[in-house]
């Protein structure tokens, strides 16, 4: 699935400091019954965003007007644990987010994000706390995520931290490519390898 | 240099190493189910690709399937649509398919091993995080996302960074009423849900050597719950015995050839791990969770820890206990329950039903409890009947249902109602996991059985001691 290229993103951010946010919260299992990839934003954080009667929960950050339109989510430690459902990453993307920042991500969620055009940015616990504090103090605080230079910067103060991403994934994000493009290019090598497998 | 089991299997599947990037990693076996595959097939077709090795992919319907009246059309149109899509896609691309009504149908991580598809030294993926189950056979098995499902269908490879290696040793003898599920929940409680993130785990020591294949599958299944990519156990005589003669295992000369390879699959003396942990079997008692992630577990006789005694987020901890309607310091023993769920890819195997029956035999289901007993596959159902366990179940006032994932993730009709408390043998106690507002206590089949007959959270040792 092609996605828009990612270079430099400057945006306000939704704060969600809860730790161990699992993908069942990001999108509950009962909303995984589609056979096409569309409109996963509707049920993004369904049970945290809405009351049982369908009314929005006013105090949930994703419902607060003050953050509306933000393209970044700053999440608590161990974000995206649990189920491998890529629907969680789709719902992040469909909601309009292009970047999730956390001090730790679960592996499968992180891979899924990279595969669908959402940049997972892992920062130190201290820098995550700095970001939360800044957003809480001023919801209009802007964060700049610079993929070419691999830095994340709090614009108001200039505080900055670099982040790690391997060159291959970085190139993919910068160009909007994905792994299938790469693998299809080395098809002969894979076929030759497959013939050596014992079973 | 001495190699680990993990190194041996991983390194033999690397087609190419990408400079400052992931490995191109070859996949021997690919399981697909109805929930995470439809969009992958759409992607494959929209790019004009085909399934390169259809014989390496296996489709089974499990997440959405009803557990009663499976002979009737599936009532929920969205579920029916996903099940149809799986069948259609499998047929169109020449992939074997075990749909509802097929005698081989069941939960993907139960039917794979049962049919001899899961083999030592193989690489196995599926769009389901509990694919780690198959590591019990000395395979490298892990969950993937839908983009990766499409990758495997169209190229038989995925691009993966090699994880770091962790070894967890548990030595000694397990006490009365302590099962593989308890061993796993104990390890997760020590590691937390993120302790093994970035690692692949090898389980070693007497406890795993003594464990049945079913037990090993339960342990490896739960590896993902501490953040590990997967877990594995070196294959041994017990593994080979389990595999021999199964429908899809190699036969004759192929078996002999495979055995030669499989016998090389162990961690060599002196091989180094990035990190290693040692636990003592004697410290493990029957476990139960009290919070909203599988790391929030404790011995069933213990009390819920106070927030101050833990490291890290107090707010998150209190939110979790608030959701469960529990207080710091509460004892779980004696808490009234509403539901019991025996099943899932964690504990839906024959050994789990044997354990459950060892407790409920000659007793009666508590009137306040609704119990859903859901075998992992039709083969498990057949075995339950062959061993007469169905009679024990019926005599005790329980009903045996038909196979599927069921209340583990509640995509079908088996949902725990809001606010109700369930003792569940499945793998996740996340908020709303078993239905919106549901509250889940993860435990072994023995704890589930003891609680099902007494109506409150119960230490199975009290019943086992009474039986003795």
Are B326 and B227 found together in one domain?
no
Assigned domain for B280 exists? no
Is B90:B54 a contact under the CB 8 Å cutoff? no
Band (pLDDT 50/70/90 cuts) for residue B313 is: confident
Interface of B with A in 79-118 (CB under 8 A): 79, 81-82, 85
Q: A139-169 in b/e burial notation, b at 16+ Cβ within 10 A?
A: bebbbbbbbeeeebbbeeeeeebebebeebb
| Nearest-CB residue to B82 (from A35, A37, A111) | A35
Cβ contact, residue pair A25, B129, below 8 Å: no
| Nearest-CB residue to B85 (from A24, A35, A87) | A35
Can you list the alpha helix ranges (DSSP code H) found in B132-222? 146-155, 180-191, 206-210, 213-221
> What per-residue confidence (pLDDT) applies to A2?
66
* Structure confidence by residue, pLDDT tens digits, B167-177: 999 999 999 99
Assigned domain for B460 exists? yes
- Quick one: CA torsion of B108, B109, B114, B115, rounded to 10 degrees? 50
Are B196 and B137 found together in one domain?
yes
Which residue is listed with tokens 């039709």?
B378
Are B218 and B358 found together in one domain?
no
Interface of A with B in 36-75 (CB under 8 A): 36-37, 47, 52
Q: Are strands B439-442 and A119-122 parallel, antiparallel or unpaired?
A: unpaired
Are B85 and B217 found together in one domain?
yes
- Mean pLDDT in residue range B263-271: 98
Are B253 and B302 found together in one domain?
no
Assigned domain for B247 exists? yes
Assigned domain for B281 exists? no
Nearest Cα to Cα of residue B452 among B422, B428, B419: B422
Are B213 and B108 found together in one domain?
yes
Task: Give the domain-ending residue among B241, B275, B309.
Answer: B275
Contacts of A129 (CB under 8 A, 6+ apart): none
| Nearest-CB residue to B22 (from A78, A85, A168) | A168
Residue B284 has pLDDT above 90, yes or no: yes
How many CB pairs lie under 8 A apart between chains A and B?
Answer: 202
Strand order in the sheet with B123-126: B96-98, B57-60, B29-32, B123-126, B140-143
> What per-residue confidence (pLDDT) applies to B468?
81
Q: Is B61 helix (H, G, I), strand (E, B) or coil?
A: coil
Are B207 and B317 found together in one domain?
no
Packing angle of the helix pair A167-175, A107-116 (nearest 10 deg):
40
Output the pTM of the full model.
0.97
Assigned domain for B30 exists? yes
Residue B107 has pLDDT above 70, yes or no: yes
Are B330 and B309 found together in one domain?
yes
Q: Is B421 helix (H, G, I), strand (E, B) or coil?
A: strand
* Structure confidence by residue, pLDDT tens digits, B361-402: 999 999 999 999 999 999 999 999 999 999 999 999 999 999
- Quick one: CA torsion of B338, B341, B346, B352, rounded to 10 degrees? 120
The mean pLDDT of chain B is 97
What is the distance, to the nearest Å, from the Cα of residue B234 to the centroid of all Cα atoms in its chain? Answer: 18
Assigned domain for B113 exists? yes
Are B317 and B372 found together in one domain?
yes
Cβ contact, residue pair A179, B229, below 8 Å: no
DSSP output for B314-372: HHHHHHHHHHHT--TT-B-TT-B-SEEEE-HHHH-SHHHHHHHHHHHTT----TT-EEE
The tally of domains found in chain B comes to 2
Question: Which chain B residue has its CA at the smallest distance from A84's CA?
Answer: B129
Enumerate the residues of chain A whose CB falls inside 8 A of the CB of residue B193.
20, 78, 81
* Structure confidence by residue, pLDDT tens digits, B434-462: 999 999 999 999 999 999 999 999 999 99
**Residues making up chain A, counted from first to last:** 199
Furthest-apart CA atoms within chain A: distance in Å: 60
Packing angle of the helix pair A107-116, B146-155 (nearest 10 deg):
70
Task: Give the domain-ending residue among B244, B275, B306.
Answer: B275
The tens-digit pLDDT sequence of chain A (199 residues) is 568 899 999 999 999 999 999 999 999 999 999 999 999 999 999 999 999 999 999 999 999 999 999 999 999 999 999 999 999 999 999 999 999 999 999 999 999 999 999 999 999 999 999 999 999 999 999 999 999 999 999 999 999 999 999 999 999 999 988 999 999 999 999 999 999 998 8
Band (pLDDT 50/70/90 cuts) for residue B1 is: confident
Are B266 and B309 found together in one domain?
no
DSSP output for B231-257: EE----HHHHHHHTT-TTS--THHHHH
Are B197 and B292 found together in one domain?
no
- Mean pLDDT in residue range B234-250: 98
> What per-residue confidence (pLDDT) applies to B387?
98
Best of A82, A116, A150 to substitute, by most chain B Cβ atoms within 10 angstroms, is A82
Band (pLDDT 50/70/90 cuts) for residue B266 is: very high
What is the distance, to the nearest Å, from the Cα of residue B330 to the centroid of all Cα atoms in its chain? Answer: 29
Enumerate the residues of chain B whose CB falls inside 8 A of the CB of residue A168.
18-22, 159
DSSP letter (8 states) at residue B162: P
Q: Are strands B439-442 and B14-17 parallel, antiparallel or unpaired?
A: unpaired
- Delineate the domains of chain A, giving CATH numbers in brackets: 8-196 (3.20.19.10)
Q: CATH number of the domain that B430 lies in?
A: 3.30.499.10
Are B58 and B196 found together in one domain?
yes
Interface of B with A in 11-50 (CB under 8 A): 15-16, 18-22, 24, 26, 28, 35-36, 38-39, 42-43, 47, 49
| Nearest-CB residue to B227 (from A81, A83, A84) | A81
| Nearest-CB residue to A30 (from B146, B227, B410) | B410
Is B60:B33 a contact under the CB 8 Å cutoff? yes
Query: What is the percent of chain B with per-residue pLDDT over 90, rounded to a whole number?
Result: 98
Q: Is B461 touching A (CB cutoff 8 A)?
A: no
Assigned domain for B251 exists? yes
Residue B233 has pLDDT above 90, yes or no: yes
Is B424:B432 a contact under the CB 8 Å cutoff? no
* Structure confidence by residue, pLDDT tens digits, B53-96: 999 999 999 999 999 999 999 999 999 999 999 999 999 999 99
Is A38:A63 a contact under the CB 8 Å cutoff? no
- Mean pLDDT in residue range B130-144: 98
Cα separation, B456 vs B445, whole angstroms: 15
Cβ contact, residue pair A76, B316, below 8 Å: yes
| Nearest-CB residue to A112 (from B119, B145, B257) | B145
* Structure confidence by residue, pLDDT tens digits, B182-201: 999 999 999 999 999 999 99
Angle CA(A56)–CA(A61)–CA(A65) in degrees, nearest 5? 75
Phi/psi class of residue B382: alpha, beta or left (left: φ > 0; alpha: ψ in -120 to 50)? Answer: alpha
Task: Give the domain-ending residue among B275, B307, B331.
Answer: B275
Cβ contact, residue pair A198, B18, below 8 Å: no
Cα separation, A123 vs A128, whole angstroms: 6
> What per-residue confidence (pLDDT) applies to B310?
78
Enumerate the residues of chain A whose CB falls inside 8 A of the CB of residue B144.
84, 108, 111
Bridge partners of residue B288, in order along the sequence: B298, B443
Domain that holds residue B318: 286-466
């Amino acid at each position: 699935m092609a996605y828009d290229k990612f270079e430099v993103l400057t945006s306000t951010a939704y704060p969600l400091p809860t730790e161990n946010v699992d993908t069942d919260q990001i999108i509950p299992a009962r909303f995984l019954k589609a056979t096409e990839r569309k409109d996963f934003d509707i049920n993004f954080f369904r049970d945290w965003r809405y009351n049982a009667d369908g009314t929005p929960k006013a105090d949930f950050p994703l419902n607060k007007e003050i953050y509306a339109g933000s393209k970044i989510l700053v999440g608590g430690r161990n974000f995206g644990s649990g189920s491998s459902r890529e629907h969680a990453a789709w719902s992040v993307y469909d909601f309009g987010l292009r970047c999730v920042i956390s001090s730790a991500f679960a592996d499968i969620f992180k891979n899924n994000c990279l595969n669908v055009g959402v940049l997972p940015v892992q920062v130190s616990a201290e820098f995550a706390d700095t970001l939360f504090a800044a957003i809480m103090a001023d919801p209009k605080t802007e964060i700049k995520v610079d993929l070419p230079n691999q830095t994340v910067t709090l614009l108001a103060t200039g505080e900055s931290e670099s982040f790690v991403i391997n060159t291959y994934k970085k190139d993919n994000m910068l160009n909007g490519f994905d792994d299938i493009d790469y693998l299809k290019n080395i098809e002969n090598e894979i076929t030759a390898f497959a013939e050596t497998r014992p079973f | 240099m001495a190699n680990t089991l993990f190194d041996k299997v991983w390194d033999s599947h690397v087609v190419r190493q990408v400079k400052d990037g992931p490995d191109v990693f070859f996949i021997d076996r690919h399981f697909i189910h109805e929930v995470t595959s439809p969009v992958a097939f759409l992607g494959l077709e929209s790019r004009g690709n085909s399934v390169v090795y259809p014989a390496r992919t296996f489709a089974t319907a499990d997440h959405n399937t009803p557990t009663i009246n499976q002979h009737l059309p599936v009532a929920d149109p969205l579920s029916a649509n996903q099940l149809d899509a799986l069948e259609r896609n499998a047929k169109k691309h020449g992939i074997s398919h075990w749909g509802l009504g097929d005698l081989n149908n069941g939960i993907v991580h139960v039917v794979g091993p049962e049919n001899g598809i899961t083999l030592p030294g193989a690489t196995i993926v599926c769009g389901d995080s509990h694919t780690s189950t198959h590591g019990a056979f000395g395979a490298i098995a892990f969950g993937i996302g839908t983009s990766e499902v499409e990758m495997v269908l169209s190229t038989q490879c995925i691009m993966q960074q090699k994880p770091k290696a962790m070894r967890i040793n548990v030595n000694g003898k397990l006490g009365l009423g302590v099962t593989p599920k308890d061993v796993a929940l104990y390890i997760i409680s020590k590691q937390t849900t993120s302790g093994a993130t970035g690692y692949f785990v090898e389980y070693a020591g007497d406890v795993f050597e003594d464990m049945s294949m079913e037990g090993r599958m339960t342990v490896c299944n739960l590896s993902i719950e501490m953040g590990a990519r997967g877990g594995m156990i070196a294959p041994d005589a017990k593994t080979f015995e389990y595999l021999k003669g199964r429908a899809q295992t190699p036969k004759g000369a192929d078996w002999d050839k495979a055995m030669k390879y499989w016998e090389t699959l162990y961690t060599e003396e002196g091989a180094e791990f990035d990190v290693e942990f040692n636990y003592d079997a004697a410290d493990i008692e029957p476990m139960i969770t009290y919070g909203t992630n599988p790391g929030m577990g404790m011995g069933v006789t213990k009390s819920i820890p106070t927030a101050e005694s833990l490291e890290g987020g107090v707010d998150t901890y209190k939110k979790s206990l608030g959701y469960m309607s529990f207080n710091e310091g509460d004892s779980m023993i004696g808490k009234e329950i509403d539901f019991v769920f025996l099943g899932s890819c964690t504990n839906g195997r024959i050994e789990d039903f044997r354990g459950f029956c060892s407790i409920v035999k000659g007793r009666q289901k508590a009137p306040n409890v609704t119990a859903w007993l859901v075998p992992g596959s039709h083969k498990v159902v057949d075995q339950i009947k062959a061993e007469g366990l169905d009679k024990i179940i019926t005599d005790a006032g329980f009903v045996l249902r038909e196979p599927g994932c069921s209340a583990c993730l509640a995509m079908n009709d088996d949902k725990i109602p809001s606010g109700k408390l369930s003792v569940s043998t499945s793998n996740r106690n996340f908020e709303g996991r078993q239905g919106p507002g549901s509250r889940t206590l993860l435990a072994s089949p023995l704890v589930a059985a003891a609680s099902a007959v007494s109506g409150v959270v119960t230490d199975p040792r009290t019943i086992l001691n009474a039986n003795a």
